[in-house]
C-alpha cells in the first residue's frame, strides 16, 4: 500500500509531495539533571519522506530511545512538534488524536517488555483498540513465518520464547498493523546474521526511523543517518 492509495480515518488521498513525518525543534531534558538545564537532544528537526529509512546512531545513553519515544508520543518532550502528512495537510498528534497518532507512528521496542500471556493475546489486545478496528491488518503469523517463526509459538507464553523469537513476533505484530512510520529500536539485535538480513529486507522497504549500533546494517538500510552526540547536538547526513 502506498500513501497515494491509502484511505480510512484521517486520510483520503494523501499529497505525496509533503513529508510523511515532520519533526521540528524537538528538545528533551535529561531526567534528573541537576538544574534541569542538561539536554539529551536539542532542537532536532527533520522531514521523513515516504520509503525513507533514517538510521539513528550515537553512543549508549545518548538519548536515541528517548527520541523515538518522544516522536511516538510515549514520552513527553519539553519543546518541539511532530506532524504527519495527511489528506488534510500536516497534522499534529493533538490534531488527529494521540491514539490514531500512535497507530500511524508506531514504536517497536527491542523486546516486548515483560509481557504476560502469549503473542496471540497481544494480537487480540491490539485488534480490540478502536483505532485498529478501523484499519486494514495483515496476518502477523504469516509475516513471522516468512522469518522462520513457527505458527505454534504464538500460543506459548512470552517467557518461554527466545529473545529472537520475541523480537520477530513483536515486529510482525507491528507490521501487521501497517503503520505509516515504524520507529524501530535495534530491531534485529537478538537475531542471527542470516535472519537479520531477511527481517531487514522487509523493514527497510517501509518508512522507518531505525536505531542501530551496527555500521554494516546502516550501510545496508539507511537513506540518511541522524547521529546524536553527548553534548545534545546532532548531525544528519
Ligand atoms: N523520560 C525520560 N526523560 C528524560 N530522560 C530519560 C527518560 N527516559 C530515559 N531517560 C534518560 O535518558 C538517557 C538516555 O536513555 P536512552 O535509552 O534514550 O539512550 P540510548 O541512546 O537509547 O541508549 P542505548 O544505546 O544504551 O539503548 C538515560 O540516561 C536515561 O536515564
Q: Is 68 in the pocket of ligand 1 (CB under 6 A)?
A: no
Q: CATH number of the domain at 210, please.
A: 3.40.50.300
pLDDT more than 70, % of the chain: 90
Pocket test for ligand 1, best of 33, 56, 61, 111 (most atoms within 8 A of CB): 61
What ligand 1 atom has the least distance to the C-alpha of 213? Answer: 25
CA distances from 72 to 83, 134, 188 (A): 11, 20, 20
63 lines ligand 1 (CB under 6 A): yes
Kind of pairing, strands 181-185 and 208-211?
Answer: parallel
pLDDT digits (tens, 9 = 90+) for 120-167: 998 888 888 877 777 777 899 999 999 999 999 999 999 899 999 999
> Does 61 contact ligand 1 (Cβ within 6 A)?
yes
Is residue 21 within 8 Å of residue 86, measured between CB atoms?
no
The pLDDT value given to residue 15: 65
**Spacing, Cα 23 to ligand 1 middle (Å):** 19
Q: How many domains would you assign to the chain? A: 1
- Give the domain extent around 131: 3-236
Mean pLDDT over each residue of the chain, to the nearest integer: 88
- Report ipTM for this prediction: 0.93
The per-residue pLDDT for 134 is 73
pLDDT in tens, 85-95: 988 899 999 99
Whole-number pLDDT of residue 14:
59
Please write the tens of the pLDDT for every residue from 14-69.
Answer: 566 789 999 999 999 887 766 667 899 999 999 999 999 999 999 999 999 999 99
CB of 60 within 6 A of ligand 1: the answer is yes
Amino acid at each position: 500500500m502506498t500513501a497515494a492509495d491509502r484511505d480510512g480515518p484521517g486520510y483520503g488521498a494523501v499529497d505525496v509531495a509533503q513529508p510523511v513525518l515532520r519533526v521540528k525543534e524537538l528538545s528533551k531534558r535529561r531526567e534528573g539533571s541537576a538544574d534541569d538545564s542538561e539536554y539529551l537532544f536539542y532542537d532536532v528537526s527533520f522531514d521523513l519522506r515516504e520509503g525513507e529509512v533514517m538510521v539513528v546512531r550515537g553512543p549508549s545513553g545518548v538519548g536515541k530511545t528517548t527520541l523515538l519515544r518522544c516522536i511516538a508520543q510515549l514520552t513527553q518532550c519539553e519543546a518541539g512538534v511532530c506532524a504527519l502528512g495527511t489528506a488534510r495537510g500536516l497534522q499534529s498528534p493533538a490534531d488527529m488524536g494521540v491514539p490514531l497518532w500512535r497507530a500511524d507512528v508506531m514504536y517497536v521496542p527491542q523486546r516486548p517488555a515483560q509481557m504476560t500471556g502469549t503473542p496471540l493475546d497481544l494480537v487480540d489486545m491490539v485488534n480490540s483498540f478502536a483505532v485498529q478496528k478501523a484499519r486494514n491488518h495483515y496476518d502477523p503469523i504469516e509475516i513471522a513465518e516468512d522469518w522462520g517463526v513457527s505458527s505454534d509459538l504464538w500460543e506459548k507464553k512470552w517467557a518461554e520464547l527466545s529473545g529472537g523469537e520475541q523480537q520477530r513476533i513483536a515486529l510482525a505484530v507491528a507490521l501487521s498493523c501497517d503503520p505509516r512510520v515504524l520507529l524501530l529500536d535495534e530491531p534485529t539485535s537478538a537475531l542471527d546474521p542470516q535472519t537479520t538480513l531477511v527481517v531487514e529486507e522487509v523493514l527497510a522497504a517501509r518508512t522507518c526511523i531505525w536505531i542501530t549500533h551496527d555500521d554494516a546494517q546502516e550501510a545496508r538500510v539507511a537513506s540518511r543517518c541522524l547521529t546524536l552526540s553527548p553534548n545534545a547536538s546532532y548531525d544528519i547526513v
